[in-house]
Amino acid sequence: MATIIHSKHALGTAATPRPQTAGAVHAVKFRHTFSAALAAAAILELGVLPSYAQIVGYKLIPEGDFGAVTASGGIMTGELGADDDARVAGTELFSAATALNAVASPDKAAAYNVAPVEAARGIGLQFSGAVAADATKKLTLIVFYSQ
Predicted pLDDT at 111: 94
Under a CB-based contact definition with an 8 Å cutoff, are residues 124 and 76 in contact? Answer: yes
Predicted pLDDT at 107: 79
Q: Structurally, how many domains does the chain consist of?
A: 1
Residue 13: partners with Cβ closer than 8 Å, 6 or more residues away: none
Residue 128: domain span: 4-14+22-146
Predicted pLDDT at 16: 83
Predicted pLDDT at 104: 87
Instruction: Tell me the C-alpha to C-alpha distance, in Å, between residue 145 and each of 16, 88, 101.
Output: 11, 22, 25
pTM: 0.91
68: exposed, middle or buried (C-beta count within 10 Å: 0-12, 13-18, 19+)?
A: exposed
- The per-residue pLDDT for range 23-66, each reduced to its tens digit, is 889 999 999 999 999 998 899 999 999 999 999 999 999 999 99
Instruction: Give the distance from CA 77 to its chain's centroid.
Output: 12
Predicted pLDDT at 1: 52
Please identify every stretch of the chain with a pLDDT value under 50, giving residue numbers as ranges: none
